[in-house]
Structure 1
Amino acid sequence: MQTVPPAFDAAYWQARYTAPGRAGWDAGRVTPPLQAYFDQLDVQQQPRILIPGAGRAYEAEYLHHLGLQQVVVADLAPEPLAELAARVPDFPRQHLWQADFFALGEADTFDLIIEQTFFCALHPSLRPAYGQQCARLLRPGGKLVGLLFDTPFAGATEPPFGGSREEYAAYFEPYFRFIHFETAHNSLPARAGRELFICLQKL
C-alpha cells in the first residue's frame, strides 16, 4: 500500500500544528454540514466511525458528546491527539490512534468514515489510493461522508490542495454509490460555495 510522501510525514504535521498561524484550515469547531449529518445519526446503533487525519478532531468531540462510543480518530502527529485528550478527558484513549491512514489494515473496519480536511492535506498523488483505502476500510454498505474543497488552490506546493468535483468523482466512482455529491448549502461563511458535501455508500 502506498504511504504518505516523506515531505508530509509526522514531523511535518507536528510542526504545522505547533507553529502559530500554520493551521488555517482549523475551523475551531465542528462544521455545520457535518453537525447536521451527525444530528440525524441513530445513537442506538452505535456505528463504528473513523475520522482519518482528524487533527484537533472537533467532529470526534461532537460525536462523543452525542453518545457515540465507537469513534476512532487517527492522525500522523501526536500533538492534535494530545489536545483532544486534554479537551475531552473521557474520550477513550484506545480510540486515539497515531497512525498512517494508508497503513490501516482490513482488520480495522468501520461503518462510517468522516472526511474533514484530510483529503486536501494529502499530496494529490495519493488521492486515488485514498478512495481505494476508504472502500477497503468500510464494511459492506458503509459510508464515506464529509466535505471536499471544490476550488483550486493555484500554485499550492503544500497542504491544503484544492481541486474540482469532476476530478474527485473519478477517484470514488469505482468503489461507491453517490448519495450526495453537491455544493454544501450550510458551509461556514468563509467556505460558502467552495466545498462539496459528499455521502458515498460502498458498493
Structure 2
Amino acid sequence: MAKESIIIAALGLFLRRGYKSVSLIDVANELGITKGGIYHYFSSKDELLRTALNFFFQRFEAKYTDLLSDKYSIQEVLHSLMVDDAFERYSKELFRLERESSVDHIHFMIEMMRVFPDIQEKIQQSQIWICEALAKRIQVAVDSGQIKSNIDSYALAANILAIVNGQKSLGSYYRFPELRQRMMDNIWSLMNT
C-alpha cells in the first residue's frame, strides 16, 4: 500500500466525518488493509494527520497557484471560486468522495485548530498566502483596467474568501448555483461600478 493512498483515504474520512470520529481502523478498512499496514508508515493517528495536512496544503496551494495564474481572467477566477466551487470539486476528485457528499474544509480546519493548536499557524499562513495571491491577481486586473481603479485589492480578496468560506459554513442553501451566481454577479458589479 502506498503512503499517499493512506493519506488520501485518511483525509477523505477526516473531511467527511471529522478527525475525532475516525480511527486508524476506519482508515485501514477504507483501504482494505490492516491497521499494521498504516503503522508501517505512521506511528500514530496524529502523525498521519500532520502528514495529511501538509499534503492537503501542498495540493491546494498548487491548485490556487494555477487558478490565480494569468491564463484566467479575473471574472473566470471569481466564477471558479464563488460559483463553480472548484475547490470542493477538486477535493472530491482528490479524496475520491462521492458527488453527493459534502466537503466542509472550514469546519475541518476549525476542528484541527482546536485539537492541535500548533496547526493553527500553518492554517493561518495558508489563508494569508491565498489572500495575498488573490490580491495580486486582483491588482493585475486593476492595473490592466479590467476593474475599477480605486479597489483595495487585499481587502477585496479577503472579502471574496470570506464569502467563499461563508457559503460552506452557512449550509446547503448557499450552495445552490443560482444563488452563488447572484452573489458573484453582485461582487462583479461592485468591482465595475
Q: Per the shorter chain, which TM-score range?
A: under 0.3
Question: TM-score scaled by structure 2?
Answer: 0.26
Greater strand content: 1
* Structure of higher RCO (CA pairs closer than 8 Å, 6+ residues apart): 2
Q: Of the two, which has the highest radius of gyration?
A: 2
Greater helix content: 2
Question: TM-score scaled by structure 1?
Answer: 0.25
